[in-house]
């Protein structure tokens, strides 16, 4: 642990003795993420300032700029002006006679001049009125309001730049720390050599594709947008550093790796993004479209706000890990002495709410999986059960408001709305929760169902609720501030900018409340030894950088894989419409589960929106029904071998040692593989019911 400067002159919160990674990765990432929050919040502040300005000074919109004095003369002599106009010769000269010029009517001339004079005096009066209203208070208020307006414009313009820098910075961190998502961790020198060699090739492929895309753009006839050229250069520079980083890691072999190894296992240690890059890059090269990966990565810029929201959600989850909140929530249920199976059900159900607020199941598993696993193990759950519950902890809440994935679906598909999807999502959540509860409590329950008496458990439960009340009050205070001060309600659109503020407020509360007793936490119950605001934020951001790099790079290459599927016209091999909605649904289920196995959620949604969805609509499947099936099918795919992304993320957060220990546990076939089979049964039954039961009511 880094030590602070000793002595009376030391500033207790100043970040000294930080590692190179914290200075070059965590600190810039923290600044970028805070900038996203500030930019997105500034629009709310600006709206309120405009309303406040209008309430304080009627016609404030006129005061936002200094008035320009009219050039006309408000004291103009009307008689003299009329005489001058009548005496003025026609501009047509000799042509006037040929065109039949009509003599000027003095009355018309006078009316015209009087009307112009009235307009002139009104302009001067308005100018004077605005000038008189421009008091020092107005000028000060206006300066702040215009500064925030400029901040909003800067935020909108820099959004794409922030995303690229964040992706490249975090991807480089994930590479240097060996934190990319793979089927298994590197254990031997052969694993290291194979994995880093292919990573270097893939990164060089990304660099080459981006460079070729830039050169192709330069060679086009159309004028080059300077901003687009900056984006091209950022991609190229980022992938160049990423290539050098993987090459450095290849040469500099870390200590502690075993000798020998199997080539088959070594290929499993290759990151998923590398596999996707090699597949898509090879395909595009073979069809003579070497810039293909660069083009599809560039499409990330079209949804820059969505990908930045993903980064914010990961950051929120990592800040959650730094708090005592999860432990205090589990403390509420401990007095009931629930069997591990029932506690696993409670954990998965409770996790559905934060999952909805963290955007997707994988994000939540990364954010809170370690806490859920440790708490279940502390309560006596066997490793296989704890791993199954951890992997499923992010699967049930993706259909609940305000899940980012559902917002993206509604954004890409005009046939559905968020209200429709979230409305039916509640019923899908009830179904999947019931299925998981049934499987967890019936299939392999090894503990007696002997709950503590209510008279004993209830007082202890109420006592455990008391420490949670301050956290609830902090959350309510932030929500009320946004509601009353900024007129912002928490929903699927405001959650990405609200949740980081809530977590920062909780960290600040813990910093203040635990300052005197932060070294006296009860570690036997898994409580977090809170280290203060700066260290907690630094630790959360340090964890965030590698996770963001692994997730966003995987997501970007998922889009590229989607491009391969789209350009290879695989979907054209299927009928573009089915006579039977039942046949169409059967095919949809298979395709969607397979896509969930091999692609990230957001990339898969983009691909499905462009291909599979149109076939489903044309075959008579209701759009809302189709997307409910899609969400459940994706979750089943993320839990299904051979990839099983949620299980990979679980292993990443709980550690390879725990997974290996679970695999050594004996018992029946089901017990040895419970972490895989239990989620498959629960989500498989749910998918069949969600897919086919509604067809009974609207399909023939």
pLDDT in tens, 573-600: 777 888 889 999 999 999 999 988 888 7
Q: What span, in angstroms and rounded, lies between the C-alpha atoms of 361 and 324?
A: 22
**Mean pLDDT taken over the chain:** 86
Tokens describing residue 169 = 């910075």
Q: Other C-beta atoms within 10 Å of 508: how many?
A: 14
Q: Other C-beta atoms within 10 Å of 212: how many?
A: 18
pLDDT in tens, 374-405: 888 888 889 999 999 999 998 999 999 888 88
pLDDT at 8 over 60: no
574 or 169: which carries more pLDDT confidence?
Answer: 169
Of the candidates 630, 636, 639, 640, the one whose C-alpha atom is nearest the C-alpha of residue 691 is 630
Q: What is the CA radius of gyration of the chain?
A: 32
Are residues 410 and 399 in contact, defined by beta-carbon separation less than 8 angstroms? no
Report residue 516's pLDDT band, with 50, 70 and 90 as the boundaries: low
pLDDT at 2 over 50: no
Kindly report the CA angle at 25 between 301 and 197, in degrees rounded to 5?
80
- Interval 435-452 mean pLDDT: 87
Percent share of the chain, pLDDT over 90 = 46
Percent share of the chain, pLDDT over 70 = 92
Kindly report the CA angle at 300 between 504 and 221, in degrees rounded to 5?
140
For the chain, domain boundaries: 18-69+106-159, 160-302, 306-698
Choose the weakest-confidence range: 141-150, 361-370, 655-664, 687-696. Answer: 361-370
pLDDT in tens, 600-620: 788 788 889 888 899 999 999
3-state secondary structure 337-379: CCCHHHHHHHHHHHHHHHHHHHCCHHHHHHHHHHHHHHHHHHC
Q: pLDDT at position 447, please?
A: 77
pLDDT in tens, 616-665: 999 999 999 999 999 999 999 999 988 888 998 898 888 888 988 998 88
Q: What span, in angstroms and rounded, lies between the C-alpha atoms of 390 and 373?
A: 6
Q: pLDDT at position 237, please?
A: 95
Q: What span, in angstroms and rounded, lies between the C-alpha atoms of 155 and 159?
A: 6
Kindly report the CA angle at 655 between 348 and 178, in degrees rounded to 5?
120
Q: Look-up: residue for tokens 């026609």? A: 90
3-state secondary structure 124-155: HHHHHHHHHHCCHHHHHHHHHHHHHHHHHHHH
Considering 80-84, 307-311, 419-423, the range whose residues carry the highest mean pLDDT is 419-423
Q: pLDDT at position 6, please?
A: 36
pLDDT in tens, 523-569: 444 444 567 788 888 888 998 898 889 888 888 888 888 888 888 88
Q: pLDDT at position 563, please?
A: 85
Q: What span, in angstroms and rounded, lies between the C-alpha atoms of 343 and 691?
A: 29
Q: pLDDT at position 527, please?
A: 45
- Interval 296-302 mean pLDDT: 83
Tokens describing residue 389 = 């519950």
Q: What span, in angstroms and rounded, lies between the C-alpha atoms of 288 and 131?
A: 65
Ramachandran angles phi, psi of 566, nearest 5°: -70, -45
pLDDT in tens, 320-372: 888 888 888 888 998 998 999 999 999 999 989 888 877 667 778 877 788 78
Ramachandran angles phi, psi of 635, nearest 5°: -65, -40
- Interval 495-516 mean pLDDT: 88
Q: What span, in angstroms and rounded, lies between the C-alpha atoms of 627 and 611?
A: 13
pLDDT in tens, 454-491: 899 999 999 999 999 999 999 999 999 999 999 998 88
Ramachandran angles phi, psi of 271, nearest 5°: -60, 150
| Burial of residue 118 (number of CB atoms within 10 Å: 0-12, 13-18, 19+) | exposed
Q: Other C-beta atoms within 10 Å of 182: how many?
A: 24
Q: pLDDT at position 11, please?
A: 42
Q: pLDDT at position 9, please?
A: 40
Q: What span, in angstroms and rounded, lies between the C-alpha atoms of 12 and 344?
A: 41
pLDDT in tens, 42-54: 989 999 999 999 9
3-state secondary structure at position 158: helix
Q: pLDDT at position 92, please?
A: 47
Q: What span, in angstroms and rounded, lies between the C-alpha atoms of 222 and 476?
A: 53
pTM tops 0.75, yes or no: yes
Q: Look-up: residue for tokens 């964890």? A: 543
State the DSSP code for 188.
B
Are residues 280 and 193 in contact, defined by beta-carbon separation less than 8 angstroms? no
């Amino acid at each position: 642990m880094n030590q602070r400067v000793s002595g009376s002159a030391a500033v207790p919160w100043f970040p000294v003795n930080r590692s190179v990674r914290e200075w070059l990765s965590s600190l810039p990432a923290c600044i970028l993420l805070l900038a996203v929050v500030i930019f997105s919040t500034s629009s709310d502040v600006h709206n309120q300032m405009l309303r406040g300005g209008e309430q304080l000074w009627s016609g404030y919109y006129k005061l936002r700029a200094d008035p320009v004095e009219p050039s006309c003369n408000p004291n103009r002599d009307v008689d003299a002006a009329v005489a001058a106009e009548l005496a003025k010769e026609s501009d047509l000269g000799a042509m006037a006679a040929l065109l039949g010029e009509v003599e000027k009517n003095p009355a018309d001339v006078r009316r015209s001049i009087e009307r112009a004079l009235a307009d002139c005096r009104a302009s001067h009066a308005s100018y004077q009125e605005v000038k008189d209203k421009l008091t020092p208070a107005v000028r000060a208020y206006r300066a702040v309001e215009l500064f925030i307006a400029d901040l909003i414009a800067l935020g909108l313009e820099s959004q794409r730049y922030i995303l690229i820098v964040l992706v490249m910075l975090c991807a480089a961190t994930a590479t240097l720390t060996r934190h990319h998502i793979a089927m298994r961790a590197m254990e031997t020198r052969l694993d290291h050599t194979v994995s880093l060699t292919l990573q270097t090739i893939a990164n060089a492929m990304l660099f080459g594709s981006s460079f070729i895309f830039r050169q192709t753009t330069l060679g086009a006839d159309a004028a080059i947008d300077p901003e687009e050229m900056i984006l091209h250069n950022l991609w190229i520079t980022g992938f160049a550093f990423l290539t050098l980083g993987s090459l450095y890691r290849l040469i500099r072999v870390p200590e502690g790796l075993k000798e020998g190894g199997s080539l088959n296992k070594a290929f499993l240690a290759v990151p998923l993004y590398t596999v996707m890059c090699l597949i898509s890059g090879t395909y595009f090269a073979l069809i003579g479209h070497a810039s293909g990966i660069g083009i599809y990565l560039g499409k990330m810029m079209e949804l820059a706000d969505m990908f930045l929201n993903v980064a914010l959600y990961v950051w929120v989850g990592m800040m959650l890990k730094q708090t005592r909140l999860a432990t205090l929530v589990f403390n509420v249920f401990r007095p009931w002495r629930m069997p591990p199976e029932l506690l696993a059900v409670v954990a998965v159900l409770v996790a559905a709410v934060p999952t909805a607020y963290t955007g997707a199941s994988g994000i939540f598993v990364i954010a809170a999986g370690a806490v859920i696993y440790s708490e279940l193990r502390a309560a006596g759950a066997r490793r296989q059960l704890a791993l199954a519950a951890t992997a499923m902890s992010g699967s049930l809440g993706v259909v609940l408001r305000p899940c980012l994935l559902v917002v993206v679906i509604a954004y890409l598909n005009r046939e559905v709305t968020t209200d429709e999807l979230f409305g039916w999502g509640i019923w899908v959540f009830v179904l999947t929760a019931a299925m998981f509860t049934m499987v967890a409590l019936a299939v392999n329950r090894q503990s007696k169902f002997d709950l503590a008496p209510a008279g004993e458990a209830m007082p202890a439960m109420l006592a455990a609720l008391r420490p949670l009340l301050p956290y609830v009050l902090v959350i309510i205070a932030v929500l009320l501030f946004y509601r009353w001060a900024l007129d912002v309600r928490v929903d699927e659109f405001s959650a990405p900018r609200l949740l980081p503020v809530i977590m920062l407020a909780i960290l600040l509360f813990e910093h203040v409340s635990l300052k005197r007793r932060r070294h006296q936490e009860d570690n036997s119950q898994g409580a977090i030894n809170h280290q203060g605001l700066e260290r907690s934020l630094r630790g959360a951001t340090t964890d965030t950088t590698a996770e963001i790099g692994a997730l966003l790079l995987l997501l970007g290459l998922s889009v590229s894989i989607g491009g391969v599927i789209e350009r290879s016209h695989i979907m054209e091999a299927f009928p573009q419409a089915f006579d039977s909605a039942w046949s169409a649904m059967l095919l949809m289920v298979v395709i969607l589960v397979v896509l969930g196995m091999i692609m990230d959620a957001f990339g898969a949604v983009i691909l499905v929106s462009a291909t599979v969805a149109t076939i489903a609509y044309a075959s008579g499947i209701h759009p809302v029904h189709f997307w409910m099936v899609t969400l459940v099918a994706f979750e089943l795919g993320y839990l299904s071998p051979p990839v099983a992304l949620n299980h990979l993320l679980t292993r990443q957060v709980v550690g390879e040692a725990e997974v290996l220990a679970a695999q050594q546990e004996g018992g029946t076939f089901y017990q040895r593989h419970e972490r895989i089979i239990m989620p498959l049964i629960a989500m498989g039954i749910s998918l069949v019911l969600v897919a086919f039961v509604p067809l009974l009511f609207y399909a023939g």
